[in-house]
Amino acid sequence: MDSVAFRDLALEDTDDNLKSWQTDRTRAPVATKIVVAGGFGVGKTTLVGTVSEIEPLQTEALMTEASEQVDDLTGTPEKVTTTVAMDYGRITLDDDLVLYLFGTPGQERFWFMWDDLVRGAIGAVVLADTRRLKDSFPALDYFESCGLPYVVAVNHFDGSELFDPQDVREALTVPAHIPVMIMDARRRISVIETLLSLVGHALDETPE
């Protein structure tokens, strides 16, 4: 699906929910694509759903016995569904700034889709769970290798230990110029702060 098709999909709202830039044909909004990545069960679907102003597109499928040998549920024993393609949502941060969010599937067997999902993105949010930090390394390695700007957001789960961002940076060996923050994917303001941090970082990395 190309960017024009994505734009058409994103604008499928009722008249009551239309933004000013959607009704004024003389104004073209700045459309920005952001990828949300990370390990299995880290909160990507929750993040997109928390801030999306449209009904998020989700490709959740029930987990079956066939996945027991390949999906580690140690840190997420209550998880019963998984993303098998992508999550998609939209949030308007200003009258003419729109973020389109694309959540990647976390399991290794779906990584082949990442190249298509990141095409045209200005940056990525790498979600991390301090109980399973090693699950973040594939996403970190991917964005480092392709040169896409990214930030690291630790999704603080109930009952998990709260770490200082600097400790997380050292544990993940994240470079000093990459923002690292603690957030809650269930809280809208927390997610928005993370997205704004990414937008700012992406502008610093690629100001043109």
Domain ranges for the chain: 26-60+81-203
Residue 9 CA, chain-centre distance (Å), reads 19
Q: What mean pLDDT is predicted for residues 140-163? A: 90
Give dist(CA 182, CA 37) in Å, integer.
16
pTM, to two decimals: 0.73
Q: What mean pLDDT is predicted for residues 111-121? A: 82
- Which long-range contacts (C-beta less than 8 Å, at least 24 apart) are formed by 15-19? 17/53, 17/54, 19/92, 19/95
pLDDT digits (tens, 9 = 90+) for 71-93: 454 554 454 444 445 789 999 98
Contact by Cβ (8 Å): 39, 139? yes
Q: What mean pLDDT is predicted for residues 131-138? A: 90
CB atoms within 10 A of CB 134: 10
| pLDDT at residue number 28 | 53
Q: φ, ψ for residue 162 (rounded to 5)? A: -90, 115
pLDDT digits (tens, 9 = 90+) for 33-67: 999 999 888 999 999 999 999 988 765 544 344 44
Instruction: Give the residue, 104 or 64, on which the prediction is more confident.
Output: 104
Q: Would you place residue 158 in the very low, low, confident or very high pLDDT band (cuts 50, 70, 90)? A: confident
Contact by Cβ (8 Å): 85, 20? no
Kindly report the CATH class assigned to 26-60+81-203: alpha beta
Q: Would you place residue 105 in the very low, low, confident or very high pLDDT band (cuts 50, 70, 90)? A: confident
